């Protein structure tokens, strides 16, 4: 365990970038996954709308919750896929035999998954604003911060747990089972902050929830990076 | 940490591989039953055996891709369990499948590998590697579009770029034509010339006879020397196993 | 192609016994004492506390619900510590202890939730209140179940050990965070608070039951742990046999 973060860290960052770039390129070349996820997310927004509406006020007050649930349930599809990439070509063994630490693999995949989910959000958030009649333009900067922080925590834990779930038989069920209980604080804080922002942030609640998100992200980022070495294996 | 593999050198007294009593179980079945063998620097060991005899498993344990259940194994003096991090820069494994990312091009696959191994990844180095394995025109082809023989050549190019001190080849001549097979031989010869060692696993001995210094046989997890039918080292069974309750107080 | 490979001398044959661990006697004794303590503590609680102002006799359900909750969290704490030990030292026995504690903890957590629900229905008219403690307990249950499911699916023992230890530690990190965020979430919406457990009338009953439950907790975890060790010893014996049989040596009694 000693020397885990041994210098030169430049090597490890270069590896991180290599893994991230490889995952992003492979995903871009087989567009099917991104399109499917965006379609599913859009469908969820519409279905939630049917379930909760058509009263505009009801929809507006539910918008933040619906948005985050949509992001979580559609984004989770990305994580197992990121390891599937290795398993398809039998590349996982080769990947694990390169010299150096293992955490660049996690960090690289995390970066690629983050880009993926953020791209999904670029489409889904405006769509939710339209379908649920919420004005987001006037709170865009803090809203983007909440989206970014919530997504980072989500993607960190998702990428971490998928390292295990993707290797077992019932991966579609095991990943949500492991991941979603961990996301309860993140969901509560993200929805809380989003709701507060959309409602005009009267009590400054958004700021408090954002602080919770920052702490949550920091704790689980460090924990995942440390634990990754123990769970990634051929 | 310096990862440029060419600069590693070891006193000649250190064995490239020193395995002792290596055993590995998979959910109840033992794939290796106490293998003891050593490979010196500059040596080429060929292991022949039928499918399921455990030869790939042994190779993977030496490569640190699999953990052993019992026994111990050292590569250039570093233990594969405790010191895996030191072992990995030294080995190059060529597995059954070429292990390429199917949606990336040949050049991208090689560049990724170079970046992960922290060796030069500039376009000219990549190009010369691709040319060296006789595939100059497929640099921008996606791996998916290549035949299995060509993909294997790319995997060989990947190994050539890293020039490991210990080559671990799992049925390297599979699906290769004569030209491709010659590349494998070249790789083995140049590794030996540089003082490195090679372990080739195969079920076709005729192909490796010219290359190998020694040939051993693996059967059902046990390693035998070429000219003897007695096993090298094998777990000796006790006459009878007895179950009994441990004495009181012991946990 | 020249020399033959060296053949080292064969190690001496010896009768080898496979030791099946014997359960320490104190575990069984603890179970008996715990059972008696449980009956006694329940009687104490029922007999010494007057009916609550608001809840009436329903309050007595607390004497099972609250100690169950406390001990579920203790079990979880054991899982967390044992998991840390596994990550640091690869100790197989710590892994078995964590698994035993997780099973017992899961049962206690489910019990807590069911009783909490039964208590809530007559009191507030709802089967579920989203209060901080109950909700954190529900999340804890799902974390336990996820942990046990992962162990089911990870077949190889070494992988299972490492994976569950990582999941156990990271899950443990989350429990206080879940509790705090849910509590905050609740105060923002100004909803009713949880049942009081600090009324001095109830303290004796609660303490007695907490101790009784603790004894039972240790008993159940100890016994489950011991069972796992027996399972492992028998599996090792069977495997050891499989290791030798491959030679063709018959293992029938000579």
- Per residue in C191-247, pLDDT (tens digit) is 555 555 556 777 788 888 899 999 999 999 999 999 999 988 888 777 766 665 544
Q: Which residue does chain C place closest to A220, by CA atoms?
A: C170
pLDDT tens digits, C51-68: 766 667 777 888 888 899
B79: which strand partners? B74
The length of chain B is: 251
Highest-confidence segment of A33-37, A176-180, C228-232: A176-180
Element of type H or E holding B168: strand B166-170
Q: Judge contact between C136 and C115, C-beta under 8 A.
A: no
For residue C2, being part of any structural domain is answered with no
pLDDT tens digits, B196-229: 999 999 887 888 888 888 888 888 788 877 554 4
- ipTM, two decimals, is 0.87
In chain B, which residues have their Cβ closer than 8 Å to the Cβ of A8?
1
Q: Check CB contact under 8 Å for A227 and C181.
A: no
For residue C107, being part of any structural domain is answered with yes
Q: How many domains does chain C have?
A: 1
For residue C12, being part of any structural domain is answered with no
Q: Check CB contact under 8 Å for B25 and C16.
A: no
Q: Judge contact between B48 and B217, C-beta under 8 A.
A: yes
- Chain A touched by B128 (CB under 8 Å): no
Find the domain containing C30 and state its range. Answer: 25-193+200-231
For residue C243, being part of any structural domain is answered with no
pLDDT at B2: 32
Residue with tokens 């999941």: C167
What sign for the dihedral angle of Cα A73, A74, A77, A79? negative
Q: Check CB contact under 8 Å for B116 and A18.
A: yes
For residue C9, being part of any structural domain is answered with no
For residue C86, being part of any structural domain is answered with yes
- Chain A touched by B117 (CB under 8 Å): yes
What sign for the dihedral angle of Cα C200, C204, C210, C211? positive
For A137, the token pair is: 């333009």
pLDDT at C45: 81
Element of type H or E holding B78: strand B78-79
User: Which of A174, A180, A227 is facing C150, going by the closest CB pair?
Assistant: A174
pLDDT at A227: 94
Query: For residue B189, what is the DSSP state?
Result: H
Burial B184-203 (b: 16+ CB within 10 A, else e): beebbeebbeeebbbbbbbe
Q: Check CB contact under 8 Å for A184 and C182.
A: yes
| pLDDT of B233 strictly over 60 | no
Window C:76-115, CB contacts with B under 8 Å: none
SS3 A197: helix
Residue ranges per domain, chain B? 14-99+165-225
pLDDT at C192: 53
For residue C252, being part of any structural domain is answered with no
Q: Taking CB atoms and an 8 Å cut-off, how many pairs form between chains A and B?
A: 83
Its CATH architecture, for the domain B14-99+165-225, is 3-Layer(aba) Sandwich (3.40)
Compute the distance between CA of residue C52 and CA of residue B12 in angstroms, rounded to an integer.
84
SS (H, E, C) chain C: CCCCCCCCCCCCCCCEEEEECCCCHHHHHHHHHHHHHHHHHHHHHHHHCCCECCCEHHHHHHHHHHHHHHHHHHHHHHHHHHHHHHHHHCCHHHHHHHHHHHHHHHHHHHHHHHHHHHHHHHHHCCCCCCCHHHHHHHHHHHHHHHHHHHHHHCCCHHHHHHHHHHHHHHHHHHHHHHHHHHHHHHHHHCCCCCCCCCCHHHHHHHHHHHHHHHHHHHHHHHHHHHHHHHHHHHHHHHHHHHHHHCCCCCCCCC
User: Which of C87, C174, C180 is facing A182, going by the closest CB pair?
Assistant: C174
How high is the mean pLDDT in each 10-residue block of chain C (254 residues)?
A: 40 52 86 89 81 72 87 93 94 94 95 88 80 86 94 88 95 89 76 58 82 93 93 78 48 26
Best C170, C173, C180 residue to mutate vs chain A (most A CBs within 10 Å): C170
pLDDT tens digits, A121-172: 999 999 999 999 998 888 899 999 999 999 999 999 999 999 999 988 888 8
Q: Check CB contact under 8 Å for A223 and C170.
A: yes
For residue C13, being part of any structural domain is answered with no
B72: which strand partners? B20
Compute the distance between CA of residue B54 and CA of residue B62 in angstroms, rounded to an integer.
13
Residue B100 pLDDT class (50, 70, 90 cuts): very high
Which CATH number characterizes residue C48's domain?
1.20.120
- Chain C touched by B87 (CB under 8 Å): no
pLDDT at C71: 92
Q: Judge contact between B19 and B62, C-beta under 8 A.
A: yes
For B162, the token pair is: 């890293």
Taking alpha carbons only, the member of B43, B35, B46, B55 closest to residue B14 is: B43
**Measured between CA atoms, how close is C53 to chain A, in angstroms?**
34
pLDDT tens digits, B181-203: 899 999 999 999 988 999 999 88
């Amino acid at each position: 365990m000693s020397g885990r973060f041994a210098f030169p860290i430049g090597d490890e960052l270069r590896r991180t970038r290599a893994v991230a770039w490889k995952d992003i390129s492979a995903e871009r070349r087989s567009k099917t996954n991104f399109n499917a996820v965006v379609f599913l997310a859009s469908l969820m927004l519409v279905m939630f709308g049917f379930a909760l509406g058509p009263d505009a006020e009801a929809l507006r007050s539910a918008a933040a919750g619906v948005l985050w649930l949509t992001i979580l349930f559609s984004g989770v599809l990305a994580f197992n896929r990121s390891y599937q990439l290795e398993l398809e070509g039998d590349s996982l063994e080769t990947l694990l035999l390169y010299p150096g630490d293992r955490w660049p693999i996690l960090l690289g995949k995390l970066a690629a998954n983050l880009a993926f989910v953020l791209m999904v959000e670029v489409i889904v958030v405006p769509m939710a604003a339209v379908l649920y009649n919420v004005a987001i333009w006037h709170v865009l900067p803090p809203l983007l911060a909440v989206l970014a922080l919530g997504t980072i925590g989500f993607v960190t834990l998702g990428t971490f747990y998928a390292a295990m779930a993707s290797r077992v038989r019932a991966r579609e069920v095991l990943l949500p089972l492991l991941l979603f209980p961990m996301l309860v604080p993140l969901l509560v804080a993200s929805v809380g902050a989003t709701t507060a922002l959309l409602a005009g942030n009267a009590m400054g609640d958004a700021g408090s929830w954002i602080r919770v998100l920052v702490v949550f992200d920091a704790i689980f980022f460090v924990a995942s990076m440390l634990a990754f070495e123990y769970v990634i294996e051929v | 940490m310096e990862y440029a593999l060419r600069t590693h050198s070891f006193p000649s007294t250190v064995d490239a591989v020193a395995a002792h009593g290596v055993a590995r179980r998979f959910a109840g079945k033992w794939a290796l039953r106490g293998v003891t063998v050593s490979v010196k620097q500059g040596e080429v060991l060929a292991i022949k055996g039928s499918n399921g005899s455990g030869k790939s498993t042994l190779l993977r344990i030496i490569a640190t891709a699999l953990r052993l259940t019992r026994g111990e194994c050292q590569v250039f003096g570093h233990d594969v369990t405790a010191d895996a991090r030191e072992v990995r820069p030294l080995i190059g494994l060529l597995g059954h499948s070429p292990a390429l990312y199917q949606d990336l091009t040949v050049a991208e696959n090689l560049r990724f590998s170079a970046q992960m191994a922290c060796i030069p990844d500039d376009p000219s180095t990549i190009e010369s590697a691709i040319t060296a394995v006789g595939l100059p025109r497929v640099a921008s082809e996606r791996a998916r579009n290549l035949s299995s023989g060509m993909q294997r050549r790319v995997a060989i190019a990947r190994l050539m770029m890293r020039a490991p001190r210990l080559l671990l080849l799992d049925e390297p001549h599979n699906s290769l034509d004569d030209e491709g097979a010659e590349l494998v031989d070249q790789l083995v010869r140049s590794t030996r010339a540089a003082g490195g060692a090679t372990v080739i696993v195969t079920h076709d001995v005729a192909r490796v006879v010219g290359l190998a210094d020694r040939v051993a046989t693996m059967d059902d997890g046990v390693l035998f020397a070429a000219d003897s039918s007695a096993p090298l080292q094998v777990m000796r069974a006790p006459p009878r196993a007895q179950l009994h309750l441990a004495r009181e107080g012991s946990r | 192609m020249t020399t033959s490979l060296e053949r080292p001398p064969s190690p001496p044959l010896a009768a080898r016994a496979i030791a099946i661990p014997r359960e320490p006697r104190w575990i069984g004794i603890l179970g008996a004492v715990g059972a008696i303590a449980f009956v006694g503590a329940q009687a104490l609680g029922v007999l010494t506390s007057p009916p609550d102002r608001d809840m009436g006799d329903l309050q007595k359900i607390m004497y099972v619900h609250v100690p169950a909750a406390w001990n579920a969290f203790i079990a979880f704490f054991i899982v967390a510590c044992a998991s840390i030990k596994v990550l640091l030292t690869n100790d197989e026995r710590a892994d078995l202890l964590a698994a035993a504690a997780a099973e017992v903890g899961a049962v206690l957590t489910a019990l807590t939730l069911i009783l909490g629900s039964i208590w809530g229905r007559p009191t507030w008219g709802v089967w579920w209140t989203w209060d901080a403690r109950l909700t954190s307990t529900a999340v804890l249950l799902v974390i336990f179940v996820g942990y046990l499911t992962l162990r089911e699916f990870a077949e190889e023992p070494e992988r299972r050990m490492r994976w569950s230890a990582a999941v156990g530690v990271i899950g443990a990190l989350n429990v206080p965070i879940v509790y705090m965020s849910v509590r905050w979430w609740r105060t923002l919406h100004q909803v009713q608070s949880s049942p009081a457990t600090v009324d001095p009338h109830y303290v004796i009953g609660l303490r007695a039951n907490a101790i009784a439950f603790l004894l039972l907790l240790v008993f159940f975890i100890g016994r489950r742990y011991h069972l796992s060790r027996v399972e492992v010893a028998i599996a090792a014996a069977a495997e050891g046999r499989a290791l030798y049989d491959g030679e063709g040596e018959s293992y029938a009694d000579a």
